[in-house]
Structure 1
Amino acid sequence: MKNVESVKLSPDATIRDALEIIDRGAMKIAVVVDEEGYLLGTITDGDIRRAILSGSNLDDTIEYIYFKSPTVIRPDTSRDAIINLCAINKIYQIPIVDETGRVIGIEILDRLLMPRQYPNKVILMVGGLGTRLRPLTENTPKPMLHVGGKPILHTIVERFASYGFTDIVMCVNYKSRMIKEYFGDGHRFGVHIEYVEEKERMGTAGALSLLPERPKDSFFVMNGDLLTSVNFEHMLEFHQANRATATMCVREYDFQVPFGVVNIEGAQIRSIVEKPVQRFFVNAGIYLLEPSCLDLVPKGQFYDMPTLFETLIEKDEKVVSFPLREYWLDIGRIEEYERANQEYDEVFDESEEK
């Protein structure tokens, strides 16, 4: 996700201005925005050449030549979806816009097609008992339950590896031998895997105090019972662009009150809202942390990730949310496990072919 500030233009900029930006940068594109940063369109060398052939000169404005209906993506669009959009539309750059339509970056096809390797560690919390999934978990740890013909944890490892995150630590506890025997050192999955053994269950953050060495870079922490198609590269870039100490992936959750809600003031009824829908953002169990966060995790104690975030907020650290709009499913109950198996092929087959 390339920084876009250097390639922004207003619609009253000249063709000469656009040429300077396009020739100066490696992105070979400029984005046209209004005064508040909302995307109006894009302009490329091809657009300029066609305009000149039609009689325009370099001091004319770009108002009538820039492309006003560009293909755009959101920050959480997956790598595979972006590549597909580029192929379908025969384009090599796609602006990234936020939920309001402001342009926040540009994705470049060549960059997506290049194999990348990131130094950032991935810490997977895979020691849970999975009591709500019994009897399925009586002999199998929850992350090793098969969805789509392979363990949930297998898919998680593949997803991180596909984005170039190959340095993985698994925090294990319940039936850890099964996990270690399946993954080994990770070489057959194209990753390197180490294990941290929790002698007692330590919560979603407590095991971080057991890491053999402190990460040098921002690092992911993720629960091992999730299936998601989130773009991990974009999440890292979002975290870094915000200079955050901690980033939490959040998911919008709708809840419909099954009754008419009565709003009262004293004894007087002011209004009645029939079965209103309440919307919340909920914790999606995927995090990015700076190494300094480890200073707040108590040694050898049960400690949950929400508690760590609350402490960071109290200390006035930069704590941000990354809205997740791609596929996400927390496999905590039998019905969610069954749903995951029904949806798996549609969501993940295409990405695993790349």
Structure 2
Amino acid sequence: MKALLLAGGLGTRLRPLTENLPKPMALIGNRPWLEHLILHLKSEGIADFVIAVKHYPEMIRDYLGDGTSLGVRIQYAVEETLLGTAGAIKNAQEFLDDRFLVVNADIVHQVAIQPLLDFHLEHGGAVTIGLTEVKDPSQYGVVEQDPFGQIVRFVEKPSKEEAPSNRINAGIYVMEKTVLEWIPKGEEVSIERETFPLLIEKGMRVYGKVIDGYWLDMGTKERYRKVHWDLLERKFRLPLGGKEEENGIWIGENTKIGSGVLFVPPVLIGNRVKIGDRSVIGPYAVIGDHCEIGQNVRCSETIMWNRCRVHNATQLKNCIFGYDLELGSKHILYEAVMNRWAGGLQG
């Protein structure tokens, strides 16, 4: 089955990290999330991909190419204007088979796809929506289902007391191509707010199934941090680069560590990193490839992308730094989110 990855969102809530970067290319554990997603779906038996792109599409193309480096095949459907989730699917129509998988590529997850497909084949409807259960449904669109899993209606952001369930759209769908007949071409259309309710109204039979596995929308800085802390705690079992030197301390290749450096787990250090004498790294620190950390630096609860440079005696706590950022000596930063774009994603 072919998978369509929706990667055209602007990622406004993650700015400045996504100011000049497609949101699915934000780093998770020192690698772009979109790369992790493709490799996971490949492990689930999917080898053909279509990526719907809009925001800085050349960055995704330059990094992934035709998919050869990952052992898959990739085609691209480019949006000239913002088309929304349903419009992006319609725009990719020429690349899609009679039945296909759709994945919102800026939601972090690691779920089994086959049970969703099996359920779809069993009920024979037009769409199966992967659902996830949340503690507080009041911030989401909630589904109401009959005993057989068919979705009766969507309720947008209900109060806890009025919510028909705690099940929400997880952004993963198995779809029949006939659904595309109900989506106008070249228009901005939301699949959640417009297409799915229309299909239900027309009797097209839309079903939902709760997915098993990790799921989190990384759309805010707080959730982006949580994804990383879950990763370091191994609640989210995404493969980590480097070697686990001690329990909860992963060190990449060709990394140079000065004398008296203390790692407080959990910590993930990328490849070709330099860390100066007597620095304390962790707990909860993710340092990207080619970073340089000076002497006597304190770095905790902080995510640092590739090629950052931190001078001596700087203290960092609960920060997120994008590519190529340089910090002077003796700075004290708390909850800073900063980005300085200076080049491509490679390396």
TM-score (norm. length: structure 1): 0.58
Task: Look up the match of 2:187.
Answer: 301
Q: Is the 1:256–1:277 Cα contact (8 Å) retained in structure 2?
A: no
* Partner secondary structure for residue 122 of structure 1: strand
- Residue identity matched to 2:187: Q
2:127 to 246, 250, 254: 246
Q: Is the 1:128–1:142 Cα contact (8 Å) retained in structure 2?
A: yes
Task: Look up the match of 1:69.
Answer: none
Change (3 A) 1:126 1:214: closer
Task: Look up the match of 1:125.
Answer: 6
Could you tell me how far apart the structure 2 residues matched to 1:159 and 1:334 are? 24
Task: Look up the match of 2:117.
Answer: 236
* Partner secondary structure for residue 75 of structure 2: strand
Structure 1 position 277, deviation (Å) = 10
Could you tell me how far apart the structure 1 residues matched to 2:10 and 2:72 are? 26
Runs of 4+ with >4 A deviation: 275-279, 350-353
Task: Look up the match of 2:30.
Answer: 149
Could you tell me how far apart the structure 2 residues matched to 1:313 and 1:324 are? 21
- Residue identity matched to 2:170: A
Q: Tell me the alpha carbon deviations over residues 274-294 of structure 1, each in whole angstroms, 9 at most, x when there is no partner.
A: x97965211111111001011
TM-score (norm. length: structure 2): 0.59
Structure 1 position 226, deviation (Å) = 1.3
1:286 to 172, 194, 217: 172
Q: Is the 2:50–2:95 Cα contact (8 Å) retained in structure 1?
A: no
2:84 to 189, 196, 203: 203
Could you tell me how far apart the structure 1 residues matched to 2:240 and 2:137 are? 34
Task: Look up the match of 1:324.
Answer: 211
Could you tell me how far apart the structure 1 residues matched to 2:222 and 2:112 are? 26
Structure 1 position 150, deviation (Å) = 0.7
Structure 1 position 212, deviation (Å) = 5.6
Could you tell me how far apart the structure 1 residues matched to 2:225 and 2:133 are? 22
Could you tell me how far apart the structure 1 residues matched to 2:123 and 2:72 are? 28
* Partner secondary structure for residue 18 of structure 2: coil
Change (3 A) 1:164 1:316: same
* Partner secondary structure for residue 237 of structure 2: helix
Q: Tell me the alpha carbon deviations over residues 53-96 of structure 1, each in whole angstroms, 9 at most, x when there is no partner.
A: xxxxxxxxxxxxxxxxxxxxxxxxxxxxxxxxxxxxxxxxxxxx
* Partner secondary structure for residue 86 of structure 2: helix
* Partner secondary structure for residue 140 of structure 1: coil
Structure 1 position 207, deviation (Å) = 1.6
Q: Is the 1:126–1:143 Cα contact (8 Å) retained in structure 2?
A: yes
Task: Look up the match of 1:139.
Answer: 20
Identity of matched residues, %: 36
Structure 1 position 156, deviation (Å) = 0.9
Task: Look up the match of 2:231.
Answer: 344
Q: Is the 2:52–2:79 Cα contact (8 Å) retained in structure 1?
A: yes
Task: Look up the match of 2:287.
Answer: none
Could you tell me how far apart the structure 1 residues matched to 2:240 and 2:181 are? 37
- Residue identity matched to 1:185: D
Show structure 2 runs of 5+ residues with no match. 139-159, 243-347
- Residue identity matched to 2:42: A
Could you tell me how far apart the structure 1 residues matched to 2:136 and 2:68 are? 43
Q: Tell me the alpha carbon deviations over residues 238-259 of structure 1, each in whole angstroms, 9 at most, x when there is no partner.
A: 11111121011111122299xx
Q: Is the 2:116–2:211 Cα contact (8 Å) retained in structure 1?
A: no
Q: Is the 1:256–1:276 Cα contact (8 Å) retained in structure 2?
A: no
Change (3 A) 1:256 1:163: closer
Task: Look up the match of 2:71.
Answer: 190
- In proportion to residue count, which structure has more helix? 1
* Partner secondary structure for residue 165 of structure 1: coil
* Partner secondary structure for residue 335 of structure 1: helix
Could you tell me how far apart the structure 1 residues matched to 2:25 and 2:178 are? 31
Q: Is the 1:168–1:193 Cα contact (8 Å) retained in structure 2?
A: yes
Structure of greater relative contact order (alpha carbons < 8 Å, 6+ residues apart) = 1
* Partner secondary structure for residue 282 of structure 1: strand
Q: Tell me the alpha carbon deviations over residues 13-34 of structure 1, each in whole angstroms, 9 at most, x when there is no partner.
A: xxxxxxxxxxxxxxxxxxxxxx
Q: Tell me the alpha carbon deviations over residues 258-313 of structure 1, each in whole angstroms, 9 at most, x when there is no partner.
A: xxxxxxxxxxxxxxxxx979652111111110010111110100011122111110
User: Over alpha carbons, which structure has the higher Rg?
Assistant: 1
Could you tell me how far apart the structure 2 residues matched to 1:294 and 1:255 are? 32
Task: Look up the match of 1:312.
Answer: 199
Could you tell me how far apart the structure 2 residues matched to 1:352 and 1:328 are? 21
* Partner secondary structure for residue 157 of structure 1: helix
1:333 to 220, 228, 243: 220
- Residue identity matched to 2:202: K
Structure 1 position 325, deviation (Å) = 3.7
Could you tell me how far apart the structure 2 residues matched to 1:322 and 1:195 are? 29
Change (3 A) 1:143 1:310: same
Show structure 1 runs of 5+ residues with no match. 1-119, 258-274
Q: Is the 1:141–1:174 Cα contact (8 Å) retained in structure 2?
A: yes
1:180 aligns with 2:61: yes
